[in-house]
Amino acid sequence: MSTSTATTDVPFLDLVTPHVELEEELTRVFQEALRTAHFVGGAAVEAFEETFASFCGAAHTVGVSNGTDALLFALVASGVRAGDVVVTVPHTFIATTEAIAHAGALAEFVDVDERTYNMDPGKLRAYLEACGRDPSGRLVSKRSGRPVTAVVPVHLYGQTADMDRILALADQFGLIVIEDACQAHGARYLSRGGDNWRTAGSMGRAAAFSFYPGKNLGACGEAGAVTTNDPDVAARVRKLRDHGQARKYYHDVEGYNGRLDAIQAGILHAKLRHVSEWNAQRRERADHYNRLLAPMPGIVTPYEPSWSHAVYHLYVVRTADRDGLIAHLAGAGIGTGIHYPIPLHLQQAYRSLSYKAGDFPVAERVAAEIVSLPMYPQLTAAQQDRVVSEIRRFV
Ligand SMILES: Cc1ncc(COP(=O)(O)O)c(C=O)c1O
């Protein structure tokens, strides 16, 4: 057993170094806000929105308060109504289903793929084919009898779901697609139909991004955005984030206080200039891990299909004795995470949905075996080699 250290030699995440590196640029954002007193909305927000839309290859970006609100606004603005069913995966962060519930809808799950950990289109097809039709011809869930109107694929860990197959099914069954792109800034997907690379956030009716500090593009606080190619969806999100008004004190609908503040927008705009380079560095770190870990018995490295260009928000491996490995690495001063230990259908918060163990066997198996290793642009090859040598000692 390696010697136990009080300090973490290889932290799971390093949020200090990138901010120290950009201190001058970021300080200017604060100075500008102090000198102009433009704190909410205004030119800084608009400038960021325009640049982020073009980064994603989407026509519109609407900056909002966080990723959870981005999902909520995207769902509501795209036409999801109270009482609808929205289909998603159990292997994701709870914000995905919180947003569905906050829209008044009911989340129902389909299992994930054993290798990509994202929505399995075959399972989505089976779910949809099992649905019935109500007297007015609407698709209704076999499980709840409620109308099924939308699907939320999650681009987990920085890799897109298999969107061609999901979009084709959504088209066939008349469903709205909202991408949960909260972990996938700049991830790309090779659309076989058009044979072109599409960027996360440009493929569904709308998409939600989180700029929580640890994300590939992170704010210095809370922030999020909705992207869409549909100008009507964008206009509705703009209203929803600002108390339902397009003109001050003329409220067309009831909305939310869900705006992006100008300081966060300025910070995001400054950082956005670096994201492609940071994503490339994450991919290099992933390659380095893959080279060393893939041949190791007992470790399953991430699977990146030929149609995917992942941006490794997280680098997640699978191993039978996950808890033992985490304890060993912690003893060696190496930080890890689990994303996520309990699939949503088995969470206490969703007891009322009446799912049970065994309903989504892939998600359950994956949740029991995954561990996220340190992954960030500033991670050095020497640090990675230490992580790998400790894993080798353990397995
Ligand atoms: C997959 C996923 N969806 C939604 C969210 C919610 O984003 P936020 O924390 O900005 O509300 C997150 C954030 O961690 C996420 O990882």
Same domain assignment for residues 262 and 286: no
Q: Is residue 202 part of a domain?
A: yes
Residue 194 in any domain: the answer is yes
Residue nearest to atom 4 of ligand 1 (CA): 95
* Domain boundaries, position 65: 19-270
The answer to the question of residue 3 being in a domain is: no
pTM score, whole prediction: 0.97
Domain end call among 236, 254, 270:
270
Cβ atoms 241, 259 nearer than 8 A = yes
* pLDDT tens-place string over residues 347-356: 999 999 999 9
Task: Residue 375: give its domain's CATH number.
Answer: 3.90.1150.10
Q: How many CB atoms lie under 10 A from the CB of residue 304?
A: 16
- Asked whether the predicted pLDDT for residue 118 surpasses 50, the reply is yes
**Residue 301 located in a structural domain:** yes
pLDDT at 8: 64
State which of 240, 270, 300 marks the end of a domain.
270
Q: What pLDDT is attached to residue 194?
A: 75
Instruction: Select from 209, 244, 270 the last residue of a domain.
Output: 270
Phi and psi at 302, nearest 5°, equal -60, 145
Q: 390 C-alpha to center of ligand 1: Å?
A: 31
* Residues 287 and 247 grouped into a single domain: no
Helix (H) or strand (E) holding 271: helix 262-293
d(CA 382, CA 387): 9
Verify that 202 and 62 share a domain, yes or no: yes
User: Per residue in 286-336, pLDDT tens?
Assistant: 999 999 999 999 999 999 999 999 999 999 999 999 999 999 999 999 999
Residue 57 DSSP code: T
279 and 239, same structural domain?
A: no
Query: CA–CA separation, 42 vs 330, rounded Å?
Result: 46
Is the per-residue pLDDT at 163 higher than 80?
Answer: yes
pLDDT of residue 80: 98
Query: Which of 75, 88, 157, 183 should be mutated for ligand 1, with most atoms under 8 A from CB?
Result: 183
- In short, whether 212's Cβ falls inside 6 Å of ligand 1 is yes
Query: Percentage of residues in the chain with pLDDT exceeding 70?
Result: 98
Residue 5: its pLDDT value, please?
44
The verdict on 263 and 318 lying in the same domain is no
Reported as a single tens digit per residue, the pLDDT across 128-140 is 999 999 999 999 9
Residue 6 has pLDDT above 60, yes or no: no
Strands (E), 308-354: 308-309, 315-318
Same-domain check for residues 112 and 158: yes
Please tell me what DSSP assigns to residue 297. Answer: T
Question: DSSP string of 166-185?
Answer: HHHHHHHHT-EEEEE-TT-T
Rounded to whole angstroms, the Cα distance separating 316 from 109 reads 22
| Structural tokens at position 25 | 């640029």
Ligand 1 centroid–CA 208 distance in Å is: 9
User: Which pLDDT belongs to residue 110?
Assistant: 98
Q: What is the pLDDT of residue 362?
A: 98
Task: Give percent of the chain above pLDDT 90.
Answer: 96
Residue 192: CATH number of its domain: 3.40.640.10
Could you tell me if the CB of 58 is within 6 A of ligand 1?
A: no
Averaged pLDDT score across all residues of the chain: 96
Average pLDDT over residues 190-212: 94
Strands (E), the chain: 60-64, 85-88, 106-109, 132-133, 139-140, 148-151, 176-180, 188-191, 196-199, 206-210, 224-228, 245-247, 250-251, 308-309, 315-318, 370-373
Asked if residue 225 and residue 374 are part of one domain, the reply reads: no
Domain count for the chain: 2
Confidence of residue 1 (pLDDT cuts 50, 70, 90): very low
What pLDDT was estimated at residue 192? 86
- Same domain for 168 and 302? no
Residue 7's pLDDT band (boundaries 50, 70, 90)?
low
Residues 74 and 202 reside in one and the same domain: yes
